[in-house]
Amino acid sequence: MTDVSSSSLTILTGASRGLGLALARQVLQRGGTLLTLSRQPLQALAAEAAQAGATLIQWPQDLADAPAAAARLAAWLRGQGPNAYASATLINNAGVIPRIGALMDADAADLANALRVGLEAPLLLSAAFLDATRTWAGPRKLLNISSGLGRRPMAAQAPYCAAKAGMDHFTRCLALEEAARPHGARVCSLAPGVVDTDMQHQLRSASPQDFPDQSRFAALKNQGHLASAEDTARRLLAYLARPDFGAEPVADIRDAS
Ligand SMILES: NC(=O)c1ccc[n+]([C@@H]2O[C@H](COP(=O)([O-])OP(=O)(O)OC[C@H]3O[C@@H](n4cnc5c(N)ncnc54)[C@H](OP(=O)(O)O)[C@@H]3O)[C@@H](O)[C@H]2O)c1
């Protein structure tokens, strides 16, 4: 029998900035192997990986082409073998808010891109991950970065709300499927709270005419209610490490003790 490696594998989408970049940095500090799928690989991350003694693989990957990304991930995972890593985790973090406004005013290509990156890619990457690692020896976890807006409707946010609601619900389905399997993966769709990233900037920079809730997002920033990406990443990774990770397939980091 082949020995199981002691090294962990984390796969992360959207590591170029915001929450994804903070997650990537903290995963690298823990060592092991990090595979990122981002449109732009970052030189700075490579340097941080070398310093931390971690292995970093950066794939330049546009997640709007989800079938290509999923096929590439499946092939790569199959090439690793069931004992290559002590544990395997997929974090679907990349997300897009298309131009903010009423659905009837939206551009079709912009809508399609948001749904491809925000829903199709996480679904297809989850399928590829669960299939290719089903015989792996170590624990497998799937963390989908969702949003409160997947659970609460908001005018001018229909495509983003739809993508996150879809993410929550497919995660509930996966939780049932994996619970019925021996050595099934543990899965969770987790809302990260309000985080000080470009996405929040996009929300508070929208026109109040197009976005009735614009002033609420401006106030969140002005009143200092945004969490930093670094602090949120720390909390998300701590949640991922909990022994009961996956007990709730849909959760909010703000409710975590
Ligand atoms: N910030 C918040 O308050 C908040 C609240 C709730 C949920 N979230 C969720 O948290 C996650 C991270 O958000 P964030 O705030 O860090 O947003 P962000 O700063 O806007 O970053 C979005 C990330 O997604 C990537 N991405 C977008 N389109 C892509 C594509 N076609 N292919 C590959 N990557 C793509 C971006 O890469 P590029 O650099 O290539 O564009 C970037 O790395 C998202 O799922 C978001 O919905 C955020």
pLDDT tens by residue, 112-143: 999 999 999 999 999 999 999 999 999 999 99
Q: How confident is the model at residue 3 (pLDDT cuts 50, 70, 90)?
A: low
Ligand 1 site, residue 55, Cβ cutoff 6 A: no
Q: Up-side HSE of residue 22: CA atoms within 13 Å toward CB? A: 17
| CATH number for position 169 | 3.40.50.720
pLDDT tens digits, 194-221: 999 999 999 999 999 999 999 999 999 9
- The pLDDT assigned to 1 comes to 44
CB 187 within 8 A of CB 175: yes
95 closest CA partner among 171, 148, 157, 163: 163
Looking at residues 99-107, what average pLDDT do you find? 98
- Residue 45 forms part of a structural domain: yes
Domain membership of residue 60 (yes or no) is yes
Does ligand 1 have an atom closer than 6 angstroms to the CB of 93? yes
Distance 118 CA to ligand 1 centre (A): 9
| Ligand 1 pocket residue status of 62, Cβ below 6 Å | yes
Domain contains 237: yes
In a domain, 89, yes or no: yes
Q: What percent of the chain has pLDDT over 90?
A: 96
Of 10, 13, 29, nearest to 85 by C-alpha is 10
pLDDT of res. 236 = 98
Kindly give the distance from the C-alpha atom of residue 56 to the centroid of ligand 1, in angstroms, as a whole number. 20
Average pLDDT of the chain, as a whole number: 97
How many whole angstroms separate alpha carbon 191 and alpha carbon 61?
Answer: 24
Which mutation among 16, 25, 157, 203 tests ligand 1's pocket best, with the greatest number of atoms within 8 A of CB?
16
Using CA atoms, how far apart are residues 194 and 6, in angstroms rounded to an integer? 35
Kindly state if the Cβ of 192 falls inside 6 Å of ligand 1. yes
Q: How many helices (H) and strands (E) does the chain have?
A: 9, 7
Protein residue whose Cα sits closest to atom 37 of ligand 1 = 14
- Residue 37: band (very low, low, confident or very high) from pLDDT cuts 50, 70, 90: very high
Query: What does the pLDDT read at residue 257?
Result: 77
Mind listing the pLDDT tens digit for each residue in 140-180? Answer: 999 999 999 999 999 999 999 999 999 999 999 999 999 99
The strand pairing partners of 11, in sequence order, are 35, 90
**In degrees, to the nearest 5, what angle opens at C-alpha 35 toward C-alphas 23 and 128?**
110
Whether pTM exceeds 0.85 = yes
Q: Specify if 218 maps to a domain.
A: no
| Residue 220, in any domain of the structure | no
Assigned domain for 215 exists: no
**pLDDT at 140 (0 to 100):** 98
DSSP 3-state of 80: helix
249: tokens are 């397939």
Domain that holds residue 141: 8-192+229-255
Counting from 1 in the atom list of ligand 1, the atom nearest the Cα of 40 is: 40
Q: Is 40 in the pocket of ligand 1 (CB under 6 A)?
A: yes
Q: Predicted confidence band at 6 (pLDDT cuts at 50, 70, 90)?
A: confident
For residues 10-34, give the mean pLDDT.
97
118 vs 164: CA distance, rounded Å: 7
50-99 confidence digits (pLDDT tens): 999 999 999 999 999 999 999 999 999 999 989 999 999 999 999 999 99
* Total of domains in the chain: 1
Please indicate, yes or no, if residue 140 is contained in any of the structural domains: yes
